[in-house]
Amino acid sequence: MGFFNRFNLSRDMGIDLGTANTLVYISGKGIVLEEPSVVAIEKSTGEPRAVGTEAKLMLGRSPESVEAVRPLKDGVIADFDATELMLQEFIKRAYEGKPLVNPRMVIGIPSGVTKLERRAVMEAASQAGAREVDLIDEPLAAAIGAGLPVAEPTGNMIVDIGGGTTEVAVISSQGKVVSESIKIAGDELTGAIIQYIKREHKLAVGDNSAENLKLQLGSAYPMDSEQETIEVSGLHLLSGLPRTVTISGVEIRECLAEPVASIIKTIKSTLEQTPPDLAADIIDRGIMLAGGGALLRGLDTLVSQETGIVTHIAADPLRCVVLGTGKVLEDKTLDRVFRDRSVLA
Cα–Cα distance for residue pair 262/254, rounded to 1 Å: 14
Question: CA-CA distance, 93 to 246, in Å (whole number)?
Answer: 40
**pLDDT the model gives residue 258:** 97
Alpha-carbon distance of 199 to 227, in angstroms, equals 21
Rounded Cα distance between 229 and 252, Å, is 10
The widest CA-to-CA distance across the chain, in whole angstroms, is: 72
The 3-state DSSP class for residue 96 equals coil
State the DSSP code for 318.
G
Q: How far is residue 311's CA from residue 287's CA, in Å, rounded to a whole number?
A: 5
**pLDDT exceeds 50 at position 6:** no
Q: What is the per-residue pLDDT across 93-129, written as a single tens digit (0 to 9) for each? A: 888 766 456 788 999 988 888 888 888 888 888 888 8
Who contacts 161 (Cβ-Cβ below 8 Å, separation ≥6)?
A: 185, 186, 263, 289, 290, 291, 292, 293, 294, 296
* pLDDT-derived band at 342, boundaries 50, 70, 90: low
Q: How confident is the model at residue 214 (pLDDT cuts 50, 70, 90)?
A: very high
Q: Where in the chain is the domain with CATH 3.30.420.40?
A: 2-140+320-343, 147-184+261-318
Which of 9-13, 63-67, 110-114, 247-251 comes out lowest in average pLDDT? 9-13
Q: Would you state the pLDDT for residue 335?
A: 75
**What is the residue-averaged pLDDT of the chain?**
90
Q: What is the pLDDT of residue 148?
A: 96
Distance CA 39, CA 49 (A): 8
Which residue type occupies 253?
R
pLDDT value of residue 98: 64
Residue 261: pLDDT over 80: yes
Check whether 4 has a pLDDT greater than 60. no
Based on DSSP, count helices (H) and strands (E) in the chain, helices before strands. Answer: 11, 19
Q: Within the chain, which residue ranges are assigned CATH 3.90.640.10?
A: 186-255
55 in Cβ contact with 86 (< 8 Å)? no
pLDDT (mean) for 230-257: 96
Residues 6+ apart with CB under 8 A from 282: 155, 156, 157, 170, 271, 274, 309
Give CATH superfamily name and number for 186-255: ATPase, substrate binding domain, subdomain 4 (3.90.640.10)
What pLDDT, on the 0 to 100 scale, is given for residue 224?
79
Q: Is the model more confident about 221 or about 339?
A: 221
Select from 267, 285, 329 the least CA-distant residue to 172. 285
**Residue 236 pLDDT > 90, yes or no?**
yes
pLDDT at 10 over 80: no
CATH-assigned architecture of domain 147-184+261-318: 2-Layer Sandwich (3.30)
Taking the model in full, what pTM does it have?
Answer: 0.90
Crossing angle (nearest 10°) for helices 80-94 and 115-127? 50
Kindly report the backbone phi and psi dihedral angles of residue 245, in degrees, each rounded to the nearest multiple of 5, phi listed first: -125, 160
Class of domain 2-140+320-343: alpha beta
Pick the residue with more confidence: 226 or 51? 51
Say whether pLDDT at 223 is over 80: yes
Q: Kindly tell me if the per-residue pLDDT of 8 is higher than 60.
A: no
Bridge partners, 66 (sequence order) = 42
